[in-house]
Structure 1
Amino acid sequence: MSLHDFGTLPPGVSTPAPTPFTINIPKTQQERLANLINDAEIAAPSFYNTHTDATDVSTSVGVSRDWLVNAREVWAGRDSNNTSEGRYSWEEEQKKFNRYPQFTADVNVEHTTGEKTEKETFHLHFAALFSRSPTATPILLLHGWPGAWFEFAPALDRLAAQYTPETLPYHVVVPSLPDFGFSTREGVSERELSRELAAAALDGLMKGLGLGDGYVVQGGDLGAIIGPLVAAQSEGCKALHVNFSFLTPEQRESVAKFTVKPEEQALVARAAVWGGRGRAYATMHSTRPSTIALVLGTNPLAMLAWMGEKFQEWSDSRYPVPLNTVLSVVSYYWYTNSFGRAIWAYSPNGTIFPSVPSTKPFGYSSYPSEIMALPRSWAEKLFPTLVLYKQHDKGGHFAALEQPELFLQDLEEFIALI
């Protein structure tokens, strides 16, 4: 069975219907990137770039020169140390991505925050597995930074293997977040995007698909910031599940008084170390978004170092994210020219994080190598609508990518409970 058998749009889709989409990066762009990779300089060895381990959050001072040299060889299509995965090829990765049904849809949004009303037209890209069952539950899966919609590909593969279009109990919609990848909007260089407007656009996408009444939103990283906003703003979103959680200032003040159980101490300690050593990139994104985007946009290896560090440091080093996957993520940002568009969520105007809605069921999955901590003892006190908390012994920040089986088990259990 082909994954495209799951590509039949739901019967309630609005007019005009979403347009089928195929990723097709022109050969000229691929050749241009290949030349830039080959021509790029890598800085000479120094004490710091030869004495760092980006997989250890407690000691890392950034990505190592050896890692970057090896990654460049692989990205250029040479064998290097990547023989277990085969030589990297964007053409082959593109074929894998195009196995999934993908679409683009225009979403017009008018959203009011306080006395301010914003209007925007979004051109959203998304992948999906649609069910033909009339009782299927819609699910909206939201990725983060540095990530992309295909973080969820392993989970989609498992669903397609387990179900048929007739038996799939879910409509699974996986958008490229607004201003990420192939998702764009009118006036992108004229107006800053707000989190609230992005959340409204994603809700508008679900409504346009005829799935806006009774859907579940799930997210990690930025998806765990936008997800609560979707749940709070949309009557049609009935529940929220995340695998990453920012706390509001009031909540952080509260947890400072909570007692942490011994088995939760490692989670809290890791988050404390990351908070002191790992947040430099976020400060840069927030205070100098123009500079960092322009700098990284000049050199693909610079972008690889900046983003590759996160995949090493934020994931479970016992089960590392494959290098080919990291290269595909960076290639995707490069080909779509979306790095500068995609750091809007770090804006100084959006430094306060939304709380989980107090009226809707909430689920949380905890992984040991996550960079932020939400121990069970905190979650049970902070969130009265908590219906599921799962603690795992493996996995990290990129949960759906690193541990898709556990990720899906939790999500399906959460949906069954609600």
Structure 2
Amino acid sequence: MEDLGETPVPFRLDVPQEELDDLAARLRRVRWPDELDGAGWDYGIPLGETRELVRYWREEYDWRAAEARLNAWPQFTTVIDGARVHFAHLRSPEPDATPLLMTHGWPGSFVEFQRVAGPLTDPRAHGGDPADAFHLVLPSIPGFTLSGPTTERGWEFKRVARAFAVLMERLGYGTYGVQGGDWGAAISRELGRVRPERVIGVHLNLLPGAGATAEPTEAELSGLSPAERERTRASWERYRVWAKERQGYADIQATRPQTLAYALNDSPTGLLAWIGEKFAEWSDPRCPVNRDQMLTNVMLYWLTGTAGSAARIYWERAHADYFGLPPEVSTTPTALADFPRDNFVPLRHVAARTDSVVRWTSYDRGGHFPAMEVPELLVGDVRGFFRELAGAVRPSGM
């Protein structure tokens, strides 16, 4: 894929008022389902919680304010491998800043990085060391929100990684770091694997394929330290509960994304429930995701009509020839920021089989969306990893 000639063009959000009026009318006309008494979260996001979210969305949330905040970031679109790719490009005031590609996941968007962008691009203004500055590239995954919808088959995470490699070359970055969680973790890890001569380091807040997916045997446990044995049991238990109670959304999106799309594209309340459930269940209740930021994320899916297009990445992975196989080996230096309320418990002895993990930091709070939940921890970990990498290659005496 060598289509480096597509010059990025500036992009600015400017949603027509009639689209916002249509949304408001749909929210007023919502047809509520019933609910079993005392069901809580057993069957999905509770009715009372969803009613309150819709009320807030309709009466208090301010899209125009959110739109203005996003438009403060320089944004662009370009065409890569036949797909429109949207991205924000935030250059640091520090001329020697490290280029860093940060990639969101599902059901996220580049909105996830609003609370970390300032400290990462301009640490001097946020009480940090200017040597820790980054030029940020924040793309929207093809098919997701402002990079969607895709118009052909095959946009699984490996193809996305190749497209993002082209994007960074197109922006003139010969070497750079990558960071991501969820799908962003799979994409970032793959970029480090296929572009080791360009990617200086891979920072992840989820390590694909590193958790237990089967009950560990005594033989497997016997070679581990007591702490790792206990963590392995915890990893299996979390995965067991996940497979039984929480992975239904992924199964639907991996098998029938088009059928789901009719509901999510027609009902903003349905879209909010589908996405809002994940932000609630996958985050640490001690540091919940900001409601306005979550709604801005939902708005991008609604306004672009890409709930179905984004879901297709699950289908594409599930039908790819590599599905079910262990991750291919990556030799690029990798860091993991391990947050306790994420969906899976990663294991170092499993990760060591396929990844060159040089930094592993476990935190006492935070979940699946650390850039939104615990931005200060994520910023500190990203800074620390790339600072260590710079020190590792620095000549003696410097």
Structures share fold, TM-score greater than 0.5: yes
Supply the distance in 2 between the matched residues of 1:291 and 1:362 (Cα, whole angstroms): 38
Supply the distance in 2 between the matched residues of 1:354 and 1:230 (Cα, whole angstroms): 17
Deviations 1:353-403 (A, max 9, x none): 662643210111111100011034544x43562110010000000111111
Residues 225 and 353, structure 1, Cα contact 8 Å, conserved in 2: no
1:104 aligns with 2:77: yes
Supply the distance in 2 between the matched residues of 1:28 and 1:388 (Cα, whole angstroms): 50
Supply the distance in 1 between the matched residues of 2:200 and 2:380 (Cα, whole angstroms): 19
Greater alpha carbon shift after TM alignment, 345-354 vs 37-46: 345-354
Amino acid in structure 2 at the alignment position of 1:392: Y
Residues 179 and 341, structure 1, Cα contact 8 Å, conserved in 2: yes
Partner residue, 1:127: 88
Residues 86 and 146, structure 2, Cα contact 8 Å, conserved in 1: yes
Residues 228 and 357, structure 1, Cα contact 8 Å, conserved in 2: no
Amino acid in structure 1 at the alignment position of 2:343: I
Supply the distance in 2 between the matched residues of 1:167 and 1:416 (Cα, whole angstroms): 8
Paired-residue identity, %: 31
Amino acid in structure 2 at the alignment position of 1:199: A
Deviations 1:146-186 (A, max 9, x none): 0000101100032355236x97732111101111111147x
Matches within 5 A, 1:35-54: 35-47=25-37, 50-53=38-41
Residues 314 and 371, structure 1, Cα contact 8 Å, conserved in 2: yes
Amino acid in structure 2 at the alignment position of 1:382: R
Supply the distance in 1 between the matched residues of 2:85 and 2:371 (Cα, whole angstroms): 21
Supply the distance in 1 between the matched residues of 2:96 and 2:356 (Cα, whole angstroms): 24
The structure richer in helix per residue is 2
Deviations 1:304-342 (A, max 9, x none): 111111111100011111222222211110001111111
Q: Which of 25, 30, 38 is the matching residue for 2:20?
A: 30
Quickly say closer, same or farther: Cα 1:92–1:356, change in 2 above 3 A. Answer: farther
Residues 228 and 355, structure 1, Cα contact 8 Å, conserved in 2: no
Matches within 5 A, 1:314-353: 314-347=282-315, 348-350=318-320, 351-352=323-324
The count of aligned residue pairs is 371
Supply the distance in 2 between the matched residues of 1:402 and 1:293 (Cα, whole angstroms): 28
Greater alpha carbon shift after TM alignment, 122-131 vs 260-269: 260-269
Partner residue, 1:246: 208
Give the 3-state SS of the residue equivalent to 1:172 in structure 2: strand
Supply the distance in 2 between the matched residues of 1:134 and 1:61 (Cα, whole angstroms): 52
Q: CA deviation at 1:95?
A: 1.4
Amino acid in structure 2 at the alignment position of 1:52: G
Supply the distance in 2 between the matched residues of 1:24 and 1:410 (Cα, whole angstroms): 35
Residues 121 and 135, structure 2, Cα contact 8 Å, conserved in 1: no
Residues 255 and 378, structure 1, Cα contact 8 Å, conserved in 2: no
1:172 aligns with 2:154: no
Supply the distance in 1 between the matched residues of 2:290 and 2:134 (Cα, whole angstroms): 28
Cα RMSD of the aligned pairs, angstroms, is 2.6
Amino acid in structure 1 at the alignment position of 2:64: E
Supply the distance in 2 between the matched residues of 1:270 and 1:99 (Cα, whole angstroms): 40
Partner residue, 1:95: 68
Unaligned runs of 5+ in 2: 390-398
Amino acid in structure 2 at the alignment position of 1:416: R
1:209 aligns with 2:191: no
1:355 aligns with 2:327: yes
Amino acid in structure 2 at the alignment position of 1:319: C
Partner residue, 1:66: 48
Residues 131 and 167, structure 1, Cα contact 8 Å, conserved in 2: no
Supply the distance in 2 between the matched residues of 1:228 and 1:295 (Cα, whole angstroms): 33
Supply the distance in 2 between the matched residues of 1:265 and 1:22 (Cα, whole angstroms): 49
Supply the distance in 1 between the matched residues of 2:34 and 2:355 (Cα, whole angstroms): 54
Supply the distance in 2 between the matched residues of 1:230 and 1:354 (Cα, whole angstroms): 17
Quickly say closer, same or farther: Cα 1:375–1:176, change in 2 above 3 A. Answer: same
